[in-house]
Amino acid sequence: MKKILLVLANEIVTVISRPSFWLVLLGLPLVGALIFGGIGWLNRNSGAAQSVNQAFTGTQETLAEGVVDLSGIIRQTPKEIPAGMFIAYPDEASARSALAAGEIGAFYIVPQDYIQSGKIIYIRPDFNPLSTDTKQSSLFRWIIQVNLLGGDQVKASLINGPRQVEDTSLSATPQVTEDNPLATWAPYAVTILFYVLILGAASLLLSNVSKEKENRVIETLLTSVTPLQLLSGKILGLGLIGLGQSILWLGTSYVLLNKSGQTFNLATALHLPISFLVWGLVFFILGYAVYASLMAGLGALAPNLREASQTTMVIMIPLMIPMFFSNTVFAEQPNGVLATALSMFPLSAPVAMMTRLSTGSVTWWQPWLSALLLAATAVLIVRAVAGMFRAQALLSGQGFNLKTYLRALAGRL
């Protein structure tokens, strides 16, 4: 056990000493939090949103626009609207003259029956079929909203949606409905997330073993520790790093999704329960143990990292299969035969079961059975790959092929 801990500590120190590791670990959650927080703040502060819009669109280089208010509803202009951005004209003829003279870039006509029809006429000299909005259009809508509510800007800002939404879901699991297009992407997002997490963590072990083999360090290590101790220490060390990374990323995703009702007004179908995170950690740990061991076997048999990396796709195929069915089988029939089979098959279970859990209710015993099968598979594969390390020195320098790898995995070398 002491030797396993020494290998574990060495792996952790080696990885966390790399600046690139911290950049990826903290950079992605920070970017996501900034995006969600920034958009949520803009939604709660329409005046700030308008200021940002002006900053990006460059209103200082944009011609003013005219307004012909035949309805008489525009009685005031909100103070955040820059002076001179909109020029009032008594009738359409005078506005057309100003447009022809180049004094304005376009003009709006608010008909006398606007309250009944809700129709506004927008006249501009050019034709752009791809865009019906100008840089001032959102600000003009803001003027209309404020005046329709008697100058109350607080009420006008609430027209675009509530400032804060507190959702209470009575369902223990997220539900996907046909009228919620955003929720239908949840299975695909979960599939991609767990595929990336497991592949990223397992790839660390592949890179580590390949480099140590090329430098012949691994042969020196095997004189001091047994193959099983070496492999176990590496899997545990890099696994703890991957687990910490997953906790941070999944925790950030959980917070952002549950706060997203304030930002994007998403339905409660995307709100994930705590049990989802618990199962997520379980299947990540077990999935990582399986695929990290398989990657270590690749690194042990392949003569170099480049050749090992080229074969990675073959190993990851079972984990990729759920991706092809995430928006069809898993979204429409999460408890169907194919979805259930993929979630029980150990090599596809880490992604398939989490995808099912994100789409709807799963019978309580199925995640437990899937986890037990995956755990048993992990134990068998770890022991099989440890056997490859015994044959590794003999195979050093030979070209890699899948047949040799499968024979080694079955213990026939």
Kindly state whether residues 133 and 209 are assigned to the same domain. Answer: no
Contacts of 44 (CB under 8 A, 6+ apart): 163, 164, 262
Q: Range of 219's domain?
A: 2-32+176-409
402 domain residue, yes or no: yes
Task: Work out the mean pLDDT of the chain and round it to a whole number.
Answer: 77
Contacts of 123 (CB under 8 A, 6+ apart): 95, 96, 99, 106, 107, 108, 109
170 domain residue, yes or no: no
Q: Rounded to whole angstroms, what are the CA distances from 349 to 197, 220, 247, 284, 298?
A: 14, 36, 19, 10, 21
45 domain residue, yes or no: no
**Once rounded to an integer, what is the mean pLDDT over residues 104-112?**
91
Kindly state whether residues 234 and 373 are assigned to the same domain. Answer: yes
What is the pLDDT confidence band of residue 365, given thresholds at 50, 70 and 90? Answer: very high
pLDDT given at position 163: 61
Number of domains in the chain: 2
Structure tokens at 94: 């005078």
Kindly state whether residues 89 and 208 are assigned to the same domain. Answer: no
Of 128, 158, 188, which residue sits at a domain end?
Answer: 158
CB 104 within 8 A of CB 68: no
Q: Is the pLDDT of residue 175 over 60?
A: no
Q: Which amino acid is at 322?
A: P
Of 158, 191, 210, which residue sits at a domain end?
Answer: 158
What is the pLDDT confidence band of residue 241, given thresholds at 50, 70 and 90? Answer: confident
In angstroms, the CA 56 to CA 401 distance is 55
Of 114, 131, 158, which residue sits at a domain end?
Answer: 158
pLDDT digits (tens, 9 = 90+) for 16-27: 887 877 887 788
CATH assignment at residue 96 = 3.40.190
Tell me which residue of 63, 109, 110, 108 sits closest to 82, measured CA to CA: 63
For the ranges 98-107, 253-262, 333-342, 354-363, which has the lowest average pLDDT?
Answer: 253-262
Q: Is the pLDDT of residue 352 over 80?
A: yes
pLDDT given at position 70: 93
Report the Cα 198 to chain-centroid distance in Å: 15
pLDDT given at position 390: 66
pLDDT digits (tens, 9 = 90+) for 381-411: 888 888 777 655 545 555 666 777 777 777 6
Sheet of 121-123, strands arranged across:
86-88, 65-69, 106-110, 121-123
Kindly state whether residues 143 and 186 are assigned to the same domain. Answer: no
In angstroms, the CA 8 to CA 17 distance is 14
Kindly state whether residues 318 and 379 are assigned to the same domain. Answer: yes
Kindly state whether residues 227 and 370 are assigned to the same domain. Answer: yes
Residue found by looking up tokens 């990223």 in the block? 200
Kindly state whether residues 84 and 180 are assigned to the same domain. Answer: no
82 domain residue, yes or no: yes
In angstroms, the CA 96 to CA 89 distance is 10
40 domain residue, yes or no: no
pLDDT digits (tens, 9 = 90+) for 200-216: 778 878 888 877 777 77
Kindly state whether residues 96 and 182 are assigned to the same domain. Answer: no
Kindly state whether residues 232 and 316 are assigned to the same domain. Answer: yes
Kindly state whether residues 131 and 205 are assigned to the same domain. Answer: no
Torsions phi, psi for 65 (to 5 deg): -120, 150
38 domain residue, yes or no: no
Report the Cα 6 to chain-centroid distance in Å: 35
220 domain residue, yes or no: yes
**Once rounded to an integer, what is the mean pLDDT over residues 165-191?**
56
Kindly state whether residues 319 and 404 are assigned to the same domain. Answer: yes
Q: Which amino acid is at 158?
A: L
Kindly state whether residues 288 and 385 are assigned to the same domain. Answer: yes
